[in-house]
Structure 1
């Protein structure tokens, strides 16, 4: 192993330790604040204003956000974004100026601290092994959005290894249709180079650009497949403009 590669390996190991300790600390504090205030708003804003920027700075990432002014954030929305890296969550917490909740893979529910925090913050876990359970979770997500929440979904269903935007699964768009909410397409560029899928924790400094598109009225596209296709096309266009 070259000296350069060894130096990066040591630095990434230190960044991993920092990431774990920083995340555990802020989760504990967020849960304490939730216990005292009985409200999710402040703990979720802590994620956006404290936890996420700390991890972005720790990775050496510079965040650029464009287009947020096009959205009336006082209304509930379903935010859909392409997915290249786990650091996408940090970027979205910072880019969206309102409390943000996520539709997450069921596997994350078993991650120490993270699963408990996500449940406490009202995040919804996707259950694919049971159609009945999946339908129940979809109803929960719909109720969450109908009550005024902004829900974020990665409709590709997994992280892209080559940066190409994969087909969008349509389930998230049924949530928007049933809740009567607009869909906000977001393109994230550069996150896969900052925190890639290569190795255990492969981090390199870089710029992450978050391009926020114009909201799509679900009422205009009553079919969820058509809505998914339109959102994917908008995300691809925003990604090319990044």
Structure 2
């Protein structure tokens, strides 16, 4: 209980203190990317260490800061946000649910730093957000997205939403698969019951989207998801159902195949 309260307190204090630092960095340098540096080098390590997580990253040689890239990952825990910032040493922009922009300080930071909010409940707004993301990528920015659309309850890799893959095909840039394992044990979904332990991140080799047809989102999804599932198993995780790769329209965590069967 004391550890949990301590983690909550440190998270609140670190966020409150570093938010103005991030804003100041943007103002002084006129570069929103500097605020991402603050999140990656200061805020995230504090949160990871406070929770007692030991971050173990492999495959960073597959990260090229000079190459616009879409990093896609599975999602087990709220801890994945700082984990992603630290594991992938690039001043990327997250693609996040639109609800996050209303969270005090964190939402304000994401908005000011140029992170991209997606309203999946409104198709027109979702398309506009993806178009904005495509512009950022073409201008040399990288983006990071948790493609399941929600956190997994049991650590299994859930079906993937299509948006990030449509973005990759539109922007013509590679996708790098990122697998996170152990964060759901350290900080379970919808819980502050912190349990110190290792968090593994494996960064896969870039996948050339040009090898897929302009509209072959499903083929690209399956190729990327198969890599993330294989990496999950390598890290001691539970993997996922390779046959049910694509999320049903309008829902999160439920595959199209499973929904049709039910």
Same fold, TM-score > 0.5, yes or no: yes
Match for 1:233 among 203, 211, 226? 226
C-alpha change, 1:220 and 1:133, in structure 2 (3 Å) is: same
Listed one character per residue, the Cα deviations across residues 170-222 of structure 1 (whole Å, up to 9, x for unaligned) are 111111111111000010010001111254x1111110110000110111022
Deviation at 1:38, TM superposition (A): 0.9
Q: Quick one: distance in 2 between partners of 1:155 and 1:46?
A: 25
Classify the secondary structure of the residue corresponding to 1:196: coil
Contact kept in structure 1, 2:93 and 2:142, CA below 8 Å = yes
Output the CA distance in 1 between the equivalents of 2:190 and 2:172. 40
Structure 1: state its 5+ residue gaps: 1-8
Q: Equivalent residues in 2 for 1:6-155 (5 A)?
A: 9-155=1-147
Change (3 A) 1:198 1:89: closer
Partner of 2:158: 166
- Matched with 2:247 is none
TM-score under structure 1 length normalisation? 0.93
| Alpha-carbon distance in 2 for matches of 1:10, 1:53 | 20
* Secondary structure, counterpart of 1:184 in structure 2: strand
CA drift at 1:13: 1.1
CA shift for structure 1 position 129? 2.4
Aligned length: 233
The answer to whether residue 195 in structure 2 is matched with residue 204 in structure 1 is yes
Give unpaired runs (5+ residues) of structure 2.
236-262
Detail structure 1 runs of 4+ shifted over 6 Å in the superposition.
none
* Cα distance in 2 between the residues matched to 1:117 and 1:72: 25
Shift of 1:36: 1.8
Q: Which one has the bigger strand percentage? A: 1
User: Does 2:214 align with 1:214?
Assistant: no
User: What secondary structure does 1:202 align onto?
Assistant: coil
Matches within 5 A, 1:182-197: 182-197=174-189
Report the alpha carbon displacement of residue 35 of structure 1 after superposing the two structures with TM. 1.6
